[in-house]
Amino acid sequence: MNDSLENLRNEVDTIDRSLVELLNRRAEVAQRIGHIKSQSGASIYDPTREEIVYERVGQLNNGPLDPRSIRAIYREIISAAKALEGPTRIAYLGPQASFTQQAAMGCFGSSMEYLAVSSIPEIFSLVENRRVHHGVIPIENSTDGIVRHSLDMLVNSDLYIVNQVYLNIEHCLMSRSPLDKIRVVCSKDQALGQCREWLKSNLPNASQKEVESTSLAVLMASKEDGVAAIGSRVASSLYNVPILAQGIQDKSDNVTRFLVIGKEPTGPLGEGRDRTSIVVSLVDRVGALESTLNAFSENEINLCKIESRPTRRKSWDYYFFIDFIGHYQDPQVQKVMQSLAAQSPFVKWLGSYPNTQLAGI
């Protein structure tokens, strides 16, 4: 038994030597690619190319590692290689240990420089002014719906959506005080909404306070008795706040979608593997929305979602945010955009990006 175990360990050591050599060879090639990109002014981050790599290595995988594990391993390999090309700064809705940070790391890996930001508008400002390379923002939750601030910022910004990340969300209640001593529960509005029924049943007399992020709520709970926070296990560990209850979200399949925003648009994957986001406003006439939607059906384009938001220009005037399958460069998508431009007072392409459904981490 010992001889067999020793032989197997020696085999692992031999494989590790080969792996380290191959990883460094790969990193050297990636550095040369980065140098060419730098000379041409191309972005270091290329979501389309990365998705092609993930798909290719997934096809090469015959197990026993599952596809998610292979993707996670290669995410870190790619992240480490990009770090050799120079620091890449990513802004996210903080403080540290927020769900948005987890989504950001699930997209970019652990070798990037991460900057916690206190508000969604500030993330847009940092990217627009090139103080960071990209930003990560929450956009919608499967239980509680859309993040309004993110939609509003996309209308007036010149930035593009360049990627998306899905993250399974498990909410925990944490506090320095026991459950019967809690007088206020703090968290981001979406998190409070996702735990509405649990709070009603277990803390009916506690007031609820909306703050900028779940991790800020946990930070507040770490400083004051009688205050509880809804947040992640990661935040509980970071700020040393005991977890009183876990998995308190009202639906077990609680998923939040995040967007990556940047200065340059993303190229196409093709073959129906891209997703495009646009925003349009409608003329005030009967059948305007029907006419808009017909433009998609006539060109056989599959809609993913449609969301309305007040334009704030006048009462009962709305923007319609529309996601659909396809890339902005696709001929059929161009036909739709031309049709919309002919009938709508405002049409804006927000970005096209890989339509991956995999969670970030």
Per-residue pLDDT of the chain (361 residues; tens, 9 = 90+): 456 888 899 999 999 999 999 999 999 999 898 888 888 877 889 999 999 999 999 999 998 999 989 999 999 999 999 998 878 999 999 888 888 999 999 999 999 999 999 899 999 999 999 999 999 999 998 877 888 889 999 999 999 999 999 999 899 999 999 999 999 999 998 899 999 999 999 999 999 999 988 989 999 999 999 999 999 999 999 999 999 999 999 988 889 999 999 999 999 999 999 999 999 998 878 888 888 999 999 999 999 999 998 877 666 678 999 999 999 999 999 999 999 999 999 999 999 999 986 555 5
Task: Read off the pLDDT of residues 53-95 as tens digits, 9 standing for 90 and up.
Answer: 999 999 999 989 999 899 999 999 999 999 988 789 999 998 8
Specify the pLDDT at position 358.
59
The C-alpha atoms of residue 206 and residue 183 are separated, in whole angstroms, by 5
Residues 6+ apart with CB under 8 A from 361: 72, 102, 103, 105, 106, 167
The identity of residue 278, as a single letter, is I
The C-alpha atoms of residue 295 and residue 247 are separated, in whole angstroms, by 43
The predicted model scores a pTM of 0.88
Specify the pLDDT at position 356.
84
Specify the pLDDT at position 205.
94
Token representation of residue 279: 């925003």
Structural domains of the chain, ranges and CATH numbers in brackets? 2-84 (1.20.59.10), 89-169+255-260 (3.40.190.10), 172-243 (3.40.190.10), 267-354 (3.30.70.260)
300 and 342 in contact (C-beta within 8 Å)? Answer: no
Nearest to 138 by CA among 101, 108, 110: 101
According to DSSP, residue 68 is labeled H
Task: Read off the pLDDT of residues 100-137 as tens digits, 9 standing for 90 and up.
Answer: 999 999 999 999 999 999 899 999 999 999 999 999 99
Specify the pLDDT at position 146.
84
Specify the pLDDT at position 69.
92
Specify the pLDDT at position 179.
94
Specify the pLDDT at position 282.
87
- Using CB atoms within 10 Å of the CB of residue 160, give its burial: 0 to 12 exposed, 13 to 18 middle, 19+ buried: buried
